[in-house]
Structure 1
Amino acid sequence: MKTESQLNIIFVPYLSPGHLNPMIDTARLFARHGVSVTIITTPANASTFQKAIDTDMNCGYNIRTQLVPFPTAQLGLPDGAENLKDGTSPEMLGKISYGMSMLKDPIELLFHDLQPDCLVTDLLYPWTVESAAKLGIPRLYYFSSSYFASCARHFIHEHKPHERLVSDTQKFSIPGLPHDIEMTTLQLEQWVRTKDEITDFMNAAYESESRSYGSLYNSFHELERDYEHLYKSTKGIKCWSVGPASSWANKSNEEKANRGHKEELAQEPQWLNWLNSKQNESVLYVNFGSLTRLSHAQIVEIAHGLENSGHSFIWVVRKKDENENGDRFLQEFEQRIKESNKGCIIWNWAPQLQILEHPATGGIVTHCGWNSILESVCAGLPMVTWPMFAEQFYNEKLLVDVLKIGVSVGAKENKFWASEGVDAVVGREKVSKAVVELMGKEESSEMRMRVRKLGDASKKSIDEGGTSYNNLMHLLDELKSLKASKALEKTNLKI
C-alpha cells in the first residue's frame, strides 16, 4: 500500500532494448528502496520484463506497469511490432518511431491521473519537460549511455571541429576533453554529419537536459571519474550515477537468464553444455546487439575471421539477418564448427549476463552499446570493439584510448544498418587479428588486469556505502524533501 509520505515516481522508457532494459532495471532499484513505481509502456514491450515486475511485487515492492496501446493496426504494422528492434526495413522503422510519437497524449493523460511526485523519462522524450512543469514536479533526464559520449557530443556540437576538414576520413581532436581523442567525421552520427529532421529532434532531446531537474546516468564513478566531473562542471545541472543498474537489479540466476526475454529458457541449453566443456577464459562471446543488421558479405568475413583466429567462440546470430545464400552459408558454417568443436551459434537471442559470467568466457566482440560494455566490465572481460552507429564510436574511444580495456577491429563508418557496399565490410584478417590480440594471454594480460579491477569496483559501487548506492540514497532523500516542502506549501496556502 502507498503511504502519504511515500514517493510516487513514473518511469517512461524509450521503446528500444538499449534504452528500455536499463530503465526497467533502474525502476526496480527505486522500488526496492521504498518508492512506489509505475512504468508506462506498451503491451508487447511489457511482456519482455513483466515476469521480473511480478516477482518484485510478490516480494512486497510497490511496482506496476501501466499499459498504453500501440497504434500498430492504424500504422499498418504487424501485431506486436512496438519496439525499434522489430523494424526490418527503414519504412517499418519510420512507422514504429511515428507510433511512439502518437503515445504522447495517452501518456500525458496518465501523468495527470496518477499525480506523480517525479518523472524519470528517456532523453528521447523531450516533451516530458513541459509535462513535469505543468504538474509542478521534477523531471529526471535518463541517459542510457556514458558520460564520455555525452561530453564528446557536447564539445563537438559546441566547437564543430569536423566542419573545417578536407575529407570525411581526416582525423580531428575533440576539444575540451581531458584525454587526446581523435576521430573522423565518418565516425560521427549521421544526423551530425548531415542536417535533417533527425538533427532537429536530437538537438531538442539534448537541449531538454538543461531544462530538467537533473540527470540519471547508468554508470559508476570509478569507471568514468574524469568525465563525470567534466559533465558536472560543463552542464551545470545535478546528476546522479546509479549504475551498473543491470548487475544491481539482476542478482539471482533466474533474473540473469531471462532478462529482457519473455520465453523461459530450457534448463540445460546446448550452448551451456558446450561452454561447460571449455577451459576457463578460452571462449570469445560475439554479439552485435539487438538493432544491428549485418550484410551477407560481413557475416561471411566474421565467420572466416573467427574460424581463422584459432580461438573458441559463441556467436549470437539473428535469424532475420540472412537471405537464402546467408542461410545456407551459416548452416554449413554451423555444421563445420560443431564438428571441430571450435564454436557454437546461438540463434536470435542469448542470455548475455549468464554467458558473460561463465568461467569459460574470456572476452567479447561488442558493438559498443553501453549496456553490453557495462555488463562486460562487471564480468571483468576485455572487449574487441566494433561500433556500428549512434554514440557507439565514442564508447569505443573510452574503451580503447582512455580505459585501455579494448582492441579496435577498425570500423570506419557510423551507419545505422551496415551497408551492402564492400567498403563498409571489415575483412576477415582484421577480425582474426583483433581476436588473437584479445584472447592471447600474453598480449592481453595488462588489459585483463585493468578490466578486472573495474569489475571489482563495479560490485563495490552498488553495495551499501558504495558510490552508486549512496547516489541513489541522496537522490531519494532530495526528492522526499521536495515532496514534503510542496505539501507544506499547500497546507500554508489553505491556512
Structure 2
Amino acid sequence: MASEKRQVHFIFFPAMSHGHMIPMIDMARLFASRGVKATVVTTPANVTRISKYIHRADVNILTFKYASEEAGLPEGCEHLDDIPPHLWHNLPMASQKMQEPIAQILRDHRPDCLVADMFYTWATDVAGRYNIPRLVFHGTSFFSLCLVTSISSYQLSKTVSSDSEHFGIPNLPDVIKMTRTELPDFTTNEESDTGKLFKAALESELKSYGVVVNSFYELEPAYVEHLRKEHGRKAWHIGPLSLCIKDVEEKSNRGKVATIDEHECLKWLNSKEHNSVIYISFGSSVYFSPSQLREIASALEACGHQFIWVVRSQKSSEEEPEGLLPEGFEKRTEGKGLIIRGWAPQVSILEHQAIGAFMNHSGWNSVLESITAGVPMVTWPMVADNFVIEKLVTEILKIGVSVGVKRLDGIKGDSIKSEAIEKALNKIMAGEEAEEMRKRGKTLAELSKRAVEEGSSYVQLDAFIEEIALYRQR
C-alpha cells in the first residue's frame, strides 16, 4: 500500500455543523486507521466539540482564528448551534473569511490532499494554488447528488404550472417524480442566497479532483455509476463512516455529550422485546413548534407502541421541552416511553435489538445509521434534500414509509396531524409489509458491514489513497 512507502497526508476541513462535522471526523479517523496522516482543521471553539471523540485516534488537529464578527456574527459563534437562525444568512460571508487562514495552513503543511465540505466554494481554487487536489464532501448520498444535479440542470421546476403538479426527473436509472414544494429552494431560486451558494458549490465541484461519498456501492449501485458516467464525476464510496467506530464509549461521544446516561438508556431497552420500540429523533438542526410536538405525543399515546423520543423545541421558543408536551403525557406513558431532552447516543440506540423503527427527518446521517442497524424508517422531510432522500428510502430501497409531509417547511417542520403520524407508526411496526421492510433492512445492514470490513468501500478507500499518493509524485 502507498502508506508503506511514505505517509500520505490528508487535511479534512468540515463545515461547522454536527451533520457535516461528525461524518468528516469519522472519515479522518478511518483514514488514520489505514496509515494516512490525518489532520482536521477547525476553529478553537470547535476543538472542545471533537477532541474527546478523537483522543484515542491518531488524528491531528490544526486551528485557525475565525473572524465571526467581521462576518456579522456574534463573537464566539463558531458552530451552527451557536448562531441564531436569523443570522444564518451571514454564513456564506463567514465562509469567505476563512480563505486566507486555510491558504496559510496549506502553504505551511503542504498536504497531499484537501477534503473540504461543499459549503467552502473557494476551496478548490485555494488548494489549486499549491497543486493540492481538493475533494468535495457533500454529506449526502449518490442518489441525492444525481437527482439534485438533474433537477438543477434541466430547471425542472419551471416545467410545471403549479406547486402540487408532479414532474418526472429525466435521465435517471429509475422513474422518480416530485413536486415543486418538495424541492430544496437552491434548485428553484437561483437568485436566493442558497441558490447562489449552490451554483458556486457546483462550479467549484466541477473544477475539483472529485467527490468522496459516505455510502457503499451495494446500497445504490445504479447511482454510483450514474454520477460517474452521466455526470462525469470522479467519485469514491468509502462508507458507512459510522461503522469505523467500534468502541461503545466512542460511539456515544460523536457530536455533543449525551443528555442521558447511555447505560441507563440501554438498560431500559434491555427490558423490551425485539423490534418493539420506536426511536424518534429529527437531527441536530430541526426544531418543532409546541403544537407539532403535541401532535406527535398524541400519536404515540394512540398507537400504543413503546418509544424513545428525543424532544427538542424551537430555538426561539422561551418554553422548555418539559412544558411543551400534553399535561400528564409522561406519567401516562411511564414505562412505555423514554423522553430524552437534548442529545442522544443515537448509534448505540439504533443498534439495540429492541428498536423496531426509526422516525426521522430523512437526513442522510440518520438514514445511513438506520440502514447500518437494519432498522426501517418513518420519513418526515424538513429541509434541504430530505425529500430526495425520502424517495430513496421509500421508493428505491423500500425500507420506509412516509408520514405524509407535502412541502419543505424549514427547520420547524411541516404541520402533520396525530392521525397521520399514528397511521405511519402502525404501518412500520406491524403487518406483512413491515416484515418485508425489516427483512430488506437486515440484508442492507449485513451488506454495509461487509463493505467496510473487506468489500467495496474497503477496496475503494485503498485505491483512493493510492491514487492520491501517485498524483503528488507526478
Partner of 1:493: none
> Tell me, what secondary structure is at the counterpart of 1:345?
strand
1 CA distance for matches of 2:62 and 2:284?
Answer: 25
> Tell me, what secondary structure is at the counterpart of 1:49?
helix
Residues 428 and 344 (structure 1 numbering): CA distance in 2 closer, same or farther, change over 3 Å? same
Partner of 1:32: 33
Partner of 1:103: 98
1:147 aligns with 2:142: yes
Partner of 1:54: 55
1 CA distance for matches of 2:150 and 2:252?
Answer: 39
Residues 331 and 76 (structure 1 numbering): CA distance in 2 closer, same or farther, change over 3 Å? farther
Residues 214 and 167 (structure 1 numbering): CA distance in 2 closer, same or farther, change over 3 Å? same
2 CA distance for matches of 1:192 and 1:474?
Answer: 33
* 1:251-266 map, 5 Å: 251-262=246-257, 266=261
Q: Deviations over 1:108-133 (max 9, x none)?
A: 11111111111111111121111121
Q: Deviations over 1:244-292 (max 9, x none)?
A: 01112x11111112111257964633x3332222111100000000001
2 CA distance for matches of 1:95 and 1:482?
Answer: 37
- 8 Å contact 1:334–1:344 — kept in the other structure? no
1:184 is displaced (CA, Å) by 0.5
1 CA distance for matches of 2:281 and 2:246?
Answer: 22
> Tell me, what secondary structure is at the counterpart of 1:344?
strand
Partner of 2:446: 456
Partner of 1:473: 462
1 CA distance for matches of 2:328 and 2:226?
Answer: 47
1:183 aligns with 2:178: yes
- 8 Å contact 2:96–2:122 — kept in the other structure? no
- Matching residue's letter, 2:469: K
- 8 Å contact 1:119–1:137 — kept in the other structure? yes
2 CA distance for matches of 1:31 and 1:243?
Answer: 15
Query: Which shows bigger deviation, 5-14 or 322-331?
Result: 322-331
- 8 Å contact 1:220–1:243 — kept in the other structure? yes
| Unaligned stretches of 5+ residues in structure 2 | none
1:135 aligns with 2:136: no
Aligned length: 470
The list of structure 1 runs, each at least 4 consecutive aligned residues, that deviate by more than 6 angstroms after superposition, is none
> Tell me, what secondary structure is at the counterpart of 1:268?
helix
* 1:310-325 map, 5 Å: 310-318=304-312, 322-324=317-319
1:231 aligns with 2:227: yes
- Matching residue's letter, 1:219: S
- 8 Å contact 2:277–2:305 — kept in the other structure? yes
Residues 277 and 441 (structure 1 numbering): CA distance in 2 closer, same or farther, change over 3 Å? farther
Partner of 1:5: 6
- Matching residue's letter, 2:171: G
1:36 is displaced (CA, Å) by 1.1
1:65 aligns with 2:65: no
* 1:184-333 map, 5 Å: 184-194=179-189, 195-248=191-244, 250-262=245-257, 266=261, 268-269=263-264, 271-318=265-312, 322-324=317-319, 327-330=322-325, 332-333=327-328
Partner of 1:393: 387
1:367 is displaced (CA, Å) by 0.4
- Matching residue's letter, 1:70: Y
> Tell me, what secondary structure is at the counterpart of 1:358?
coil
Query: Which shows bigger deviation, 408-417 or 43-52?
Result: 43-52
- 8 Å contact 1:47–1:262 — kept in the other structure? no
Query: Which shows bigger deviation, 302-311 or 3-12?
Result: 3-12
- 8 Å contact 2:311–2:321 — kept in the other structure? no
Give the superposed CA RMSD.
Answer: 2.1
Q: What is the TM-score normalised by the length of structure 1?
A: 0.90
Residues 264 and 389 (structure 1 numbering): CA distance in 2 closer, same or farther, change over 3 Å? closer
> Tell me, what secondary structure is at the counterpart of 1:9?
strand
- Matching residue's letter, 2:80: L
Residues 9 and 326 (structure 1 numbering): CA distance in 2 closer, same or farther, change over 3 Å? closer
> Tell me, what secondary structure is at the counterpart of 2:56?
helix
Q: Deviations over 1:317-368 (max 9, x none)?
A: 12555543864242735533443x2211100100000100111111100101
- Matching residue's letter, 1:342: K
Q: Deviations over 1:157-182 (max 9, x none)?
A: 12222212121111111111111111
1 CA distance for matches of 2:466 and 2:113?
Answer: 13
- Matching residue's letter, 2:279: Y
1:193 is displaced (CA, Å) by 2.6
1 CA distance for matches of 2:217 and 2:16?
Answer: 27
- 8 Å contact 1:258–1:265 — kept in the other structure? no
2 CA distance for matches of 1:320 and 1:237?
Answer: 39
Fraction of identical pairs, as percent: 40
* 1:415-430 map, 5 Å: 415-418=409-412, 424-430=414-420
Residues 457 and 410 (structure 1 numbering): CA distance in 2 closer, same or farther, change over 3 Å? same
2 CA distance for matches of 1:203 and 1:174?
Answer: 19
Residues 319 and 348 (structure 1 numbering): CA distance in 2 closer, same or farther, change over 3 Å? farther
* 1:349-364 map, 5 Å: 349-364=343-358
> Tell me, what secondary structure is at the counterpart of 1:261?
coil
Candidates 402, 408, 411, aligned match of 1:414: 408
Q: What is the TM-score normalised by the length of structure 2?
A: 0.94
| Unaligned stretches of 5+ residues in structure 1 | 486-495
- 8 Å contact 2:258–2:344 — kept in the other structure? no
1:443 is displaced (CA, Å) by 3.5
2 CA distance for matches of 1:256 and 1:69?
Answer: 29
- 8 Å contact 2:312–2:341 — kept in the other structure? yes
Residues 72 and 31 (structure 1 numbering): CA distance in 2 closer, same or farther, change over 3 Å? same
1:212 is displaced (CA, Å) by 1.0
Partner of 1:335: 330
2 CA distance for matches of 1:480 and 1:96?
Answer: 34
1:483 aligns with 2:472: yes
- Matching residue's letter, 2:227: Y
Residues 326 and 23 (structure 1 numbering): CA distance in 2 closer, same or farther, change over 3 Å? closer
